[in-house]
Structures are given as C-alpha cells and as structure tokens.
Amino acid sequence: MNYTKINCKSLANLQTQSIHSSSGSVIYTDAPKDHDGNGKDFAPTDLLATALGTCVITIMNIEAKRRAWNIEEINVIIYKRMTSKGPRKIKSIVLEIFMPQDLDYERLKVLQNIALECPVKLNLEESIDIDLNWHQGEIDK
C-alpha cells in the first residue's frame, strides 16, 4: 500500500496530538490565541504553511543531491495571512527563500524551477495565493 498513516487525537484546551506511524514523530497543535486557544504550539493552518516551506526546501535538496551538488543551507521565512471576513481560511502564503550567496545562476534557476513543482504548492495554489520570493545570501536580521 502506498499511503502514510497519521494518528490524530484531541487533547485538553483545544490542543491536538498527531503521531506519524512509521517514524513515531509527534506534532502538537493548539488553537491560535485569536481563536480561543493558548497559541502555545503551531496552529493547524501554521502547519499547512510550514508544509509548503519545508516541501520547497526538501524538493530542492532532493534535486541537488541527485545532481551531486553540495548546496549550503537554504532558509525560508514564511508569512501566512488569514482572511479577515467570511469563513476563516488562509488567504495567502509568502515564502522568502534565502539561497546560498555562492550558488551560481544556472543552479539557482534549476532549483527555482524545481520549487515550482513542490507537491504541496501544486495542491494549494488554486485556493491560496502563494508567492515565492528569492534571495541570495543570509537572512537580514
């Protein structure tokens, strides 16, 4: 069978626990403060935005590995905006993608094109505005 099993259960105070059955990894969520929660863990919509950011990093690293490229650290800062009217949902996700300063133009272009094929992005892009903004060098702090 080709599926991933994840066991989710509710906990007290609007929190949840999810266990990845094959690895045993555990993720906790909490409702955000502006939605009756404590905001002490990722909100479920935060995880969706995080899935996009980590998928982009992962798919670029897979391509780099296949091409035997030694890519230094890739960093992504994610900005998630929720709707303010109507049903509560994610309005937009912006990824600020920071690539290594010394990455040459050809490799950067290959990785940018690969990022467009991120499975999470492909599944979300018809319902959420998604922007990928590219930078070379370290994150401005």
Per-residue pLDDT tens digits for 60-117: 999 999 999 988 899 999 999 999 888 889 999 999 999 999 999 999 999 999 999 9
42: which DSSP letter?
B
Domain ranges of the chain: 6-35, 44-136
pLDDT at 141: 58
pLDDT at 1: 66
pLDDT at 74: 95
Token code pair at residue 140 = 């401005």
Which pTM does this prediction carry?
0.91
pLDDT score of 2 more than 90: no
pLDDT at 138: 77
Per-chain mean pLDDT for the chain: 94
Banded model confidence at residue 122, pLDDT cuts 50, 70, 90: very high
Q: In angstroms, rounded to a whole number, what is the distance separating the alpha carbons of residues 130 and 44?
A: 18
CATH architecture group of domain 44-136: 2-Layer Sandwich (3.30)
Q: In angstroms, rounded to a whole number, what is the distance separating the alpha carbons of residues 47 and 28?
A: 10
% of the chain beyond a pLDDT of 90:
84
Buried b / exposed e over 41-67, threshold 16 CB at 10 Å, is bbbebbebbbbbbebbbebbeebbeee
pLDDT at 67: 97
